[in-house]
Chains A and B, each alone.
Chain A
Amino acid sequence: MASERMAAPAEAVPDPFLPLPYEVVSRTAETPDTVTLVLRPRPGTPPLEFSAGQFNMLYRFPLGEVAISISGDRTHPRELVHTIRSAGKITASLTQATPGETIGVRGPFGTGWPIDRATQGDLLIVAGGLGLPPLRPALYEILAHRDRFDRIEVIYGARSPKDLVYYDELQTWRSRPGVRFQVTVDAAGRDWYGDVGLVTARLPDTRVDAARTTAFLCGPEIMMRLTAQALDRMGVPDRAIWLSMERNMKCAVGLCGHCQYGPSFVCRDGPIFSYRDVKARMMLREV
């Protein structure tokens, strides 16, 4: 056996630490501090195939790199989409990137949304703030295969109406038959006719069959915790609740330990976790 293995031709394994060059082809301002960049591989760089929910490490030369979820359509692997909020030196610089510039990309990394497990039942997606971008690839995939699911509901919360990302696309999604889309904000002026309040306040309005529901949650951890607890009370099985966790990721391959989350590394074992596996950890003061 050993000799057979040794005799096998060596496969060209991509170096997970080597950023590959991508060109910024468009930049769309989503909110005052958030932009969406569309990247295309430079000549010689292969297209990047990914699963909904995975992330890339984006390298802004010479500042360094950050983990950013992929927010585009996985059926268009030559078009890599990332929505980035300016929250630090590197992300601030990334949000200033203009078409023609080069960004280094390592990835994709991490686990994806378990979309197949949600088929033949109801699906509830709850996104808060910049939790929508990591869920967008899943939404594309789900909507492309609408017939595989029963009821689909989406709840999206943001700080204010001006903090809603993908605003035009939201209107399209909301008008699409077969999907119930609720949008709520934390506070608003009188020019907002939608709901105001936390995403959890919208849960009683959902029409999903709790026992047959799979839920995908992404947003601030406290929002996911409260939402998961509310879903638990509604009767959604904890094994059917999935969350995208966020930690400070560096190597992205489970070596450096920066993103350690109890016994897991978020970069390698996540970012998508089952609520059943993490709910005890979510209640710890520090982990």
Chain B
Amino acid sequence: MSGHVRSDPPLRVADHPFFQGADPAFVERVGHHATEATWEAGEFLFHEGDPARSFYLLFLGKVALELGAPDRPKLTIQTVGPRDVLGWSWLVPPYRWRFDARAVKATRALVLDAEVLREAFEARPEDGYWFLLRLVPVIGERLEMARLQILDIYGV
């Protein structure tokens, strides 16, 4: 990570499509602990196996989600970009990333603290429910995409 920046204008949680329609108090609470970050092309947001401590709201750039196996080059299985969210491994034990995330080009995001999010969900389960209702479709979409990739639809 290139470091946290406070450029003008700062990124706001409320401006990301994922949080459209969220309870303002919830947005304010998670936003209070959010930090802004940038990565240059080639830098990693996280590596597979690392502790998963953040939820990323992407505003700019492109991030490749990579899988690897011994003696095989890394394979990008998906790219995500502006308006996308990244990461849910922080939501369920063992809280470890399941893939690498590498910036393909200069990337700017808001980084939400996973512990703050989990505490917020514990304190107000309705916020957690709202959050899951937003996140599950994203997960479902990516699962469907992965299934179709396995089908190799262009290869048959």
Contact = CB atoms under 8 A, between A and B. Distances in A.
Interface string A160-189: 000100000000000000000000001111
B73 A220 contact: no
A129 B154 contact: yes
Contact of B154 (A186, A193, A195, A205): A186
B136 interface: no
A196 B77 contact: yes
A128 interface: yes
B153 A204 contact: no
Chain B contact residues (Cβ within 8 angstroms of A): what range? 20 to 34
Contacts of A196: 64-65, 76-79
Given A193-B105, A196-B64, A220 B153 contact: yes
Contacts of B156: 220
A232 to B, nearest CB: 16
B74 interface: yes
Given A196-B64, A198-B148, A222-B148, A189 B74 contact: yes
Chain A contact residues (Cβ within 8 angstroms of B): what range? 20 to 34
Interface in B42-90: 62, 64-66, 73-79, 81, 83
Interface string B98-115: 000010110000000000
A129 B79 contact: no
A219 B78 contact: no
Contacts of A189: 73-76
A195 B141 CA distance: 16
Nearest to B149: A186
Contacts of B64: 190, 196
Interface string A188-224: 1110111111101100110000000000000110110
Contacts of A128: 153-154
Given A193-B105, A222-B148, A187 B77 contact: yes
Given A186-B152, A190-B66, 9 more contacts: A189-B73, A190-B76, A194-B79, A196-B65, A197-B78, A197-B145, A198-B148, A219-B154, A222-B151
Interface of B: 62, 64-66, 73-79, 81, 83, 102, 104-105, 141, 145, 148-149, 151-156
14 contacts: A130-B154, A159-B152, A187-B75, A189-B74, A190-B74, A190-B102, A194-B79, A196-B76, A196-B78, A201-B145, A204-B83, A220-B156, A222-B151, A226-B148
